[in-house]
Homo-oligomer: A and B are copies of this chain.
Amino acid sequence: MGSLTRKGAATRSRIVEAAAQLMYERGVSEATLEDVRAAAGVSGSQIYHYFADKQALLLAVIEYQTEAVLEFQAPQFGRLDSMDGLRQWRDTLVEFQRRMQCRGGCPIGSLGGEVAENNPEARLAVASGFLRWEQAIRAGLTAMHERGELDGDPDDLALAVLAALQGGLLLTQIQRQVKPLEVALDTILDHVESRLVAAARG
């Protein structure tokens, strides 16, 4: 493991990316290693050269998707300490779902739902991904709170925002329309806004 040449690391990444893509599109159990192999443009025993078994690959995929999701939102995360920033973040998420034609749901959340009841290790990996996500949201709300602009417990608000997002994504995924996500996020952000202290409102 200590030894991975540049090329080796690149191949490993290709495998993880291909697996992530397939697992996102069809679900974990429907994504066969043969599919992954073909999608990664890799031959025969290469997957087993980098991963002990499918479980190890799955864990790598969870890590990868966590990074991807957080990285995707990174530009917005710094601005979650204002209603403008929060609304822009909302728009980014909605726009992404629209581009995906409402397929796949949340890259982390849908993995979570699949593994929660039969894969404790993977469940914990997803849980820690959610934790990082929650903390990114919390940072913005906490900043507002500490500046005296926001009433109420920012930790609870952050958790509620993440829950609204996840629920909205699930309904959007199942109904194949963005409305549930839009309404869920708009409503929870309206609630945040209603908790702004008078002085902070535009």
Binding site for B on A (CB under 8 A): 25-27, 29-30, 103-105, 109-110, 112-114, 116-118, 123, 126-127, 130, 156-157, 159-160, 162-171, 173-176, 179-181, 183-184, 186-188, 190-191, 194
Contact = CB atoms under 8 A, between A and B. Distances in A.
Contacts of A105: 113, 116
A183 B179 CA distance: 23
A175 B29 contact: no
A40 B28 CA distance: 28
A184 B159 contact: yes
A159 B173 contact: no
A173 B183 CA distance: 23
B164 A183 contact: no
Question: How many of these chains are in the complex?
Answer: 2
A170 B129 CA distance: 14
Contact of A164 (B26, B126, B167): B167
Contacts of A156: 183, 186-187
Contacts of A123: 174, 176
A175 B113 contact: no
Contacts of A183: 156, 159-160, 163
A130 to B, nearest CB: 6
B187 A190 contact: no
B166 A170 contact: yes
A170 B171 contact: no
Nearest to A108: B174
A28 to B, nearest CB: 9
Given A156-B183, A180-B159, A118 B27 contact: yes
Contacts of A162: 167, 171
Contacts of A27: 114, 117-118
